[in-house]
Structure 1
Amino acid sequence: MPVIAMTREMGSGGREVAQRVADELQLTLVLHHLVEHEIADHLELREDAVHHLLEGGATLTERLQVGSGRLARYTAEEILELANRGNVLIRGWGACLVLREVPHVVRVRVCAPMDVRERTVMQRQGIKDRQTARREIERNDATHKRILRNVYGVDREEALLYDLMLNTERCSIETSTKLVCDLADRTEFRETNASRAILNDKTLEAHIRIKLRERFGTGLGAMGVTGIEATAHNGKIVLRGTAIHGVLVDDASKLASAVPGVKEVENQMVIVHGPRAFT
């Protein structure tokens, strides 16, 4: 079941490439409205507030209400859930980063020189002034770059995030579509039991991290637990971190064990008393 993660530069033709690839391979094309709806439900926010957070137009109140770490966890969870369904093309939302360790996911970036993007934006938005189009593109680029850096700590222009980078000045929409489809059909990107296990583990980690953070908080010494983390391997969860009481350690184990798909929990958390618990 193909899974494609794609990111695009504004005005590069990535929207058309994504749609044509989805049509050709009969994939579900996931755009912002579906991701925003699910995240809004989880965070108990309005969809427009989530859209502002993900697109860079959030107010100070909206940013303080959620925080980049919490937004990253819920966004990653939703992307991994979508990838688990298979037969999907996820455009944007950091999917190329979230799914970078899953071998069967094809990660694509669609780009173009600035003059090509300017012409496209002018045509689509009815802009007559090339400088106005450039300002709109630069604003969009800066916003998405800032969000990925703040939320995930990476530069979206890092080449190693992608398996294929397409320059639509050189490659037509038709050629770009064929290249993506051909890559998705290559042996290296076919789902295997091993690659499915990695995706399942990453999804379990995302679910458990959210439950742990919502239960214990994220601040220094919040709720008596610090540095808590969960890693998964073939359904076995390993918990690490420190706590000020054994009851909190047991609570963490119970939370992780209750997540569907978890086969075993090994709790390596350390109980620390006194000031050391907050260092």
Structure 2
Amino acid sequence: MPLITVTDSSGSGGFEVAKRVAENLGVEVFDDKRLQVIVTQTGASAGIDVDSDKQTPGFWERLLSREPKVYLDTMEAAVYDIARRGDGVIIGHGSQMLLQDFDCAFHVRLLADFRARVDNLVISQGMDQVAAANLITNSDKNQKSFFHYAFKIDLDTLSLYDLVINMGKLKPGTIANLIVGAVQSEDIRSCDLDALSSMKRLSLERTIHAELLEHNIDVSTLNIAVPQVGTANITGGAVSQDEKKRIPGIVEKVQGISQVNADITVWVYPL
């Protein structure tokens, strides 16, 4: 089954397209709320109180404002955890970049005219024209700024996408059918076991990274590797004996890790 990433913009109607694609293929769609649940299940919530049975408004925004580096690790862990399942439709969250090296992922960019997006928000959200235009302008700015901060590349770099669609003349159902037809072609292959295992290991590495940051560990001097699911290798340096002792215990508590191999030295600073 296909693994699809969809990158849209506020007011474009991209969620409706993604939902139709998922329904047509019989797979799950992963939006902000669904990714939030994944975060709680993987244990990568970075200390934010979240009820997995109750969606928390502004979860990702609060996490980003609290600590951008922790946000990045948490987001990446969630995307990789979804991807290792082998199918689904992931909306945004840098998924088109994070899964760029996996041939089994199909990346879609949905574009829509600014005025059409404003009109969509006016109709769907009951907003006035000025408020809708301001919301979209700010959303676009934040989306592009974050993507450049996270990946050092422009969001609209065409090489990131396998299919770019201008939504101006096409209805959501027609666009969904185009995407479904593309991913069902013989040219697109499913994720093999090696790719799925690699995604799971990447998810665990980012979760470990986030948890260490949350516990005020300087990860810049550490190398974190998960050579196989369940095993974590931590090498590098710590600033103190106390930190050296704390690191294995923090990593052991990460869901999915049962063995920690730590080879950590304590930095000696000249007097």
For the aligned pair, the TM-score class normalised by the smaller chain equals 0.7 to 0.9
Q: Is the 8 A contact 1:22 1:89 kept in 2?
A: yes
Q: Is the 8 A contact 1:36 1:51 kept in 2?
A: no
2:20 counterpart residue number: 20
The farther-off stretch of 81-90 and 13-22 is: 81-90
Q: CA separation in 2, counterparts of 1:226 and 1:17? A: 40
| 1:146 to 2:145 alignment | yes
Q: Is the 8 A contact 2:47 2:214 kept in 1?
A: no
Identity value in percent:
19
1:74 counterpart residue number: 74
- SS of residue matched to 1:189: coil
**Is the alpha carbon distance of 1:142 and 1:255 closer, same or farther for their aligned partners in structure 2, counting shifts above 3 Å?**
same
Q: Is the 8 A contact 2:74 2:207 kept in 1?
A: yes
**Is the alpha carbon distance of 1:209 and 1:114 closer, same or farther for their aligned partners in structure 2, counting shifts above 3 Å?**
closer
Aligned AA (1:88): G
1:63 counterpart residue number: 65
Q: CA separation in 2, counterparts of 1:76 and 1:177? A: 26
**Is the alpha carbon distance of 1:229 and 1:83 closer, same or farther for their aligned partners in structure 2, counting shifts above 3 Å?**
same
Per-residue CA deviations over 1:94-113 (Å, capped at 9, x if unaligned) read 22222222211111111111
2:48 counterpart residue number: 45
Per-residue CA deviations over 1:130-163 (Å, capped at 9, x if unaligned) read x332112112222323333444444322222221
Q: CA separation in 1, counterparts of 2:256 and 2:49? A: 28
Using the size of structure 1 for normalisation, the TM-score is 0.73
Q: Is the 8 A contact 1:6 1:90 kept in 2?
A: yes
Q: CA separation in 2, counterparts of 1:234 and 1:210? A: 15
**Is the alpha carbon distance of 1:119 and 1:260 closer, same or farther for their aligned partners in structure 2, counting shifts above 3 Å?**
closer
- SS of residue matched to 2:106: strand
Q: Is the 8 A contact 2:74 2:210 kept in 1?
A: no
Q: How far 1:39 sits from its partner (Å)?
A: 2.8
**Is the alpha carbon distance of 1:44 and 1:259 closer, same or farther for their aligned partners in structure 2, counting shifts above 3 Å?**
closer
Aligned AA (1:81): D
- The structure whose residues are more often helix, as a share, is 1
2:204 counterpart residue number: 207
1:176 counterpart residue number: 175
2:92 counterpart residue number: 92
The farther-off stretch of 137-146 and 21-30 is: 137-146
Alignment of 1:232-243 (within 5 A): 241-243=236-238
Q: CA separation in 2, counterparts of 1:99 and 1:50? A: 26
**Is the alpha carbon distance of 1:217 and 1:227 closer, same or farther for their aligned partners in structure 2, counting shifts above 3 Å?**
farther
Cα RMSD of the aligned pairs, angstroms, is 3.9
Alignment of 1:23-38 (within 5 A): 23-38=23-38
2:109 counterpart residue number: 109
Aligned AA (2:47): E
Q: CA separation in 2, counterparts of 1:188 and 1:266? A: 41
Q: CA separation in 2, counterparts of 1:229 and 1:140? A: 35
**Is the alpha carbon distance of 1:212 and 1:121 closer, same or farther for their aligned partners in structure 2, counting shifts above 3 Å?**
closer
Q: How far 1:211 sits from its partner (Å)?
A: 2.3
Q: How far 1:200 sits from its partner (Å)?
A: 1.9
Q: CA separation in 2, counterparts of 1:50 and 1:97? A: 26
**Is the alpha carbon distance of 1:229 and 1:153 closer, same or farther for their aligned partners in structure 2, counting shifts above 3 Å?**
farther
Q: Is the 8 A contact 1:69 1:151 kept in 2?
A: no
Aligned AA (1:201): S
Aligned AA (2:4): I
Q: Aligned residue pairs: how many?
A: 261
1:134 counterpart residue number: 133
Structure 1: which 5+ residue stretches go unaligned? none
**Is the alpha carbon distance of 1:106 and 1:19 closer, same or farther for their aligned partners in structure 2, counting shifts above 3 Å?**
same
1:228 counterpart residue number: 222
Per-residue CA deviations over 1:162-195 (Å, capped at 9, x if unaligned) read 21111101433233112211221233431253xx
Structure 2: which 5+ residue stretches go unaligned? none
Aligned AA (1:44): G
The farther-off stretch of 3-12 and 140-149 is: 140-149
